[in-house]
Chain A
Amino acid sequence: MIDAARDLLDNYWVLMPVKVLAVLAIFLTFPLVVGYMEHKVMAHMQARLGPMEAGRFHGVLQLVADGIKFVQKESIIPKAADKWVFALAPAVALIPAILVFGFIPYGPDLVPIRSDVGLFVTLALSSVSVIGVLMAAWSSANKYSLMGGIRAAAQLIAYELPLVLAAAAVAMQAGSADLAVIVERQGWWGYIVGPLVIGFFVYGTAALAELTRPPFDMPVADSELVFGHLTEYTGLRFAFFLLTEYAGIVSQSAIAATLFLGGWKGPFLDGPWWLAAKVLALSFVVIWARSTYPRLREDQLQSFAWLRLVPVSLALLLVVGFLKVYEVGI
Chain B
Amino acid sequence: MATELGQQGGAAFQAADGTGVGIIVRDKADRELHTQDMTLNVGPQHPATHGVLRVLVTLDGEMIEDAQPVIGYMHRSFEKLAEYRDYRQIIALVNRHDWVSSICNELGVALVVERQMDLEVPERATWIRMLMAEWTRVLNHLMFVGSYPLELGAITPMFYAFREREEIQALMEWITGGRLHLTYCRVGGLKQDLPRGAIQMSRDLVPRMRERLKEYEDLVLGNEIFAARTKGIGVLPADVACSYGVSGALLQAAGVPEDSRKTEPYLFYDQVEFDVPTGRNGDSYDRYATLLARIRESLRIIEQVNERIPPGPVNVKLPKVVRAPQGHAYVRTEAPLGQLSYYMVSHNEKTPWRFKMRTPSFNNVSSLPYLLKGTLLPDMIAVMGSMFFIVGDIDR
Of chain A, the residue at the smallest CB distance from B220 is A294
Q: Determine how close the nearest CB of chain A comes to the CB of B282; give it in whole angstroms.
A: 20
Contact A295 B163 (CB under 8 A): no
Q: Are A147 and B149 in contact (CB under 8 A)?
A: no
Contact B378 A294 (CB under 8 A): no
Assembled-state Cα–Cα distance A143/B151 (Å)? 20
Q: Is the CB of A299 within 8 A of B153?
A: no
**B67 within 8 Å of A (CB atoms):** no
Interface-located stretch among A27-35, A41-49, A97-105: A41-49
Instruction: Judge whether A298 and B376 touch: CB under 8 Å.
Output: yes
- For residue B382, which residue of chain A has the nearest CB? A297
In the complex, whether B228 has a CB less than 8 A from a CB of chain A is: yes
Q: Cβ of A295 and Cβ of B153 under 8 Å apart? A: yes
Rounded to whole angstroms, the CA-CA distance of A102 and B19 in the bound complex is 42
Bound together, the chains give a CA A214 to CA B156 distance in angstroms of 12
Binds B, one of A67-75, A87-95, A215-223, A320-328: A215-223
Does A298 lie within 8 Å of B153, measured CB to CB? no
Specify which chain B residues have a CB less than 8 angstroms from the CB of A295 in the assembled complex: 152-154, 225, 229
Pairwise interchain contact A296-B229, C-beta atoms closer than 8 A: yes
Residues in A with CB closer than 8 Å to B152 are 223, 294-295
> Across the two chains, which residue of chain B brings its CB closest to A45?
B156
In the complex, which residues of chain A have a beta carbon less than 8 angstroms from the beta carbon of B155?
42, 46, 290-291
Interface residues of A in 196-220 (CB under 8 A from B): 214-215, 217-218
A146–B376 CA distance with the chains assembled, in angstroms: 16
Asked whether A294 lies within 8 Å of B223 as measured between CB atoms, the reply is: yes
Contacting pair A292 B377 (CB below 8 A):
no
How many residue pairs link A and B with beta carbons under 8 A? The number is 81
Measured in the bound complex, the distance between the Cα atoms of B15 and A218 in whole Å is 19
Chain A residues closer than 8 Å to B159, beta-carbon distance: 46-48
In the bound complex, CA of A296 to CA of B223 (Å): 12
Q: How far is the CB of A301 from chain B (nearest CB, A)?
A: 10
User: B381 to A224, Cβ gap below 8 A?
Assistant: yes
User: How far in angstroms is the closest Cβ of chain A from B14?
Assistant: 12
Contacts A214-B153, A218-B378, A224-B381; A299 near B21 (Cβ below 8 A)? yes
For residue B226, which residues in chain A have a CB less than 8 angstroms away from its CB?
294
Interface of B is mostly: helix
Complex contact A297–B153 (CB within 8 A): no
Task: Give 1 or 0 for each of A295-316: 1 = CB within 8 Å of chain B CB.
Answer: 1111110010000000000000
User: In A59-94, which residues have CB < 8 Å from any B CB?
Assistant: none
Contacts of B21 in A (CB 8 A): 299
The answer on a CB contact under 8 Å between B377 and A293 is: no
Q: A214 to chain B: which residues have CB within 8 Å?
A: 153
Contacts of A45 in B (CB 8 A): 156
Q: Which residue of A lies closest to B152 (CB)?
A: A294
Of the 9-residue stretches B40-48, B102-110, B338-346, B358-366, which lies at the interface with chain A? Answer: B40-48
Q: How far is the CA of A302 from the CA of B377 in the complex (A)?
A: 16
Is the CB–CB distance between A292 and B156 below 8 Å?
A: yes
- Tell me whether B378 and A293 are in contact (CB under 8 A): no
Please give the distance in Å from B204's CB to the nearest CB on chain A. 20
CB–CB A226/B376 < 8 A: no
- Smallest Cβ distance from A48 to chain B, in angstroms? 6
By size class, the interface of chain B is 20 to 34
| Given A47-B160, A218-B378, residue A294 in contact with residue B19 (CB < 8 A) | no
Does B62 have its Cβ within 8 Å of any Cβ on chain A? yes
Inter-chain contacts of A223 with B (CB < 8 A): 47-48, 150-153, 381
Question: Which A residues from 212 to 267 make CB contacts under 8 A with B?
Answer: 214-215, 217-218, 221-224, 226
List the B side residues contacting A296 at CB < 8 Å: 225, 228-229
Would you call B160 and A46 a contact (CB within 8 A)? yes
* Interfacial residues of chain A within 270-296, with CB under 8 A of chain B in the complex: 290-296
The yes or no answer to B134 lying at the interface (CB within 8 A) is no
Q: In the complex, A297→B229 CA distance in Å? A: 7
CA distance A122 to B275 in the complex (A): 60
Instruction: Report the minimum CB–CB distance from B228 to chain A (whole Å).
Output: 6
Which residues of the partner chain B approach A290 to less than 8 Å between Cβ atoms? Answer: 155
- Measured between alpha carbons, how far is A303 from B225 in the docked complex, in Å? 14
Task: Verify B225–A293 contact, CB threshold 8 A.
Answer: yes
* Chain B residues, Cβ within 8 Å of A224: 42, 47-48, 151, 377-378, 380-381
Complex Cα gap A295–B226 (Å) = 8
Residue in contact with A294 in the complex, picked from B47, B62, B154, B160, CB distance below 8 Å:
B154
B160 to A298, Cβ gap below 8 A? no
- Extra inter-chain contacts (4) besides given A143-B40, A224-B381, A299-B15, CB under 8 Å: A147-B62, A294-B152, A295-B154, A298-B376
A–B Cβ pairs within 8 angstroms, 22 of them = A47-B163, A144-B40, A147-B62, A215-B153, A217-B153, A221-B378, A221-B381, A222-B47, A223-B151, A223-B152, A291-B155, A293-B154, A293-B225, A294-B149, A294-B153, A294-B154, A294-B225, A295-B153, A295-B154, A296-B225, A299-B19, A300-B229
Closest 8 CB pairs of A and B: A295-B153, A294-B152, A294-B154, A46-B159, A294-B153, A223-B151, A224-B381, A297-B378
